[in-house]
A = this chain, B = another copy of it.
Amino acid sequence: MHNLLSNFRVDVNPSLYLKDPESSSLGQNIIKSSIDLIDLHGIEEFNFKKLAKEIGSTESSIYRYFENKQRLLLYLSSLYWGIMEFQLVMETNSMKAGMQRLMKAVEVLFSTPKLNYSSFKLDGAKLRHIINSEFVKAYHNKHVDEQNKAGYFSIYKRLVLRISELINDVNASYSYSNSLSSMIIEGSLNQYFLSEHFHSLTDCHSEDNLYLFYEDLLTKTLKQ
């Protein structure tokens, strides 16, 4: 069966890597196994030494692909948000503007990404878990501003602005579309995290519940 995504490739900012990990099997192993390891033990416990051991390579070989693990995390984040953006566009671009389209976008955002694209075969659930627990650390750092200027977050930002536009399409007079959009996206990461670690601080313990929470919120907030 032909897969719609099989010829799709996220154009990750090339300055995030030193050598394109898609271009070699070592590179692909780096991506695949880093997802496994970060998913399992978190970014703090993760380092290139452990990754090298895991894939039967060496630290110095990995350093030829990525300057450091922070860049690798940014690469994985771009991959994730790029895939999300692609799926979102695919699912919503034929719909007519309005609440239904916005909610379809939200639905896509909250569902596990289907990752069968380009040269990678990646585990969508693991990648999503990484983003849920580690993405905030990707931009809460001393170098945000220069990294932002270098375009390391551009895919993510484009996605936020896409949702802003969908919000504007629903209600053009609403004044906080950017804040609402970023709140939905980052908020959803946070609600997943809360459900896993601070059960009492959220009511959303399933994708469905999260969807209903936001549906209620958006419907009421954007009603004219």
Contact = CB atoms under 8 A, between A and B. Distances in A.
Contact of A220 (B160, B177, B220): B220
Interface in A118-138: 133-134, 136-137
A182 interface: yes
A148 interface: yes
A109 B150 CA distance: 34
Interface stretch (A5-13, A39-47, A88-96): A39-47
B42 A142 contact: yes
A178 interface: yes
Interface stretch (A48-56, A73-81, A201-209): A201-209
Interface residue range, chain A = 35 or more
Contact of A176 (B41, B142, B216): B216
Contact of A203 (B140, B142, B178): B178
Stoichiometry, as copies per complex, reads: 2
Nearest to A147: B197
Interface in A147-191: 148, 153, 157, 160-161, 175-183, 186-187, 190-191
Contact of A148 (B133, B197, B203, B217): B197
Given A142-B42, A203-B175, A203-B178, A187 B183 contact: yes
A5 to B, nearest CB: 27
A192 to B, nearest CB: 11
Contacts of A190: 182-183, 186
A122 B95 CA distance: 54
B197 A145 contact: yes
Given A136-B136, A183-B191, A144 B178 contact: no
A199 B207 CA distance: 30
Given A41-B142, A136-B140, A179-B191, 16 more contacts: A44-B141, A139-B198, A140-B193, A145-B197, A157-B201, A176-B203, A176-B216, A179-B194, A179-B202, A181-B201, A182-B194, A182-B202, A183-B191, A186-B187, A216-B221, A220-B221
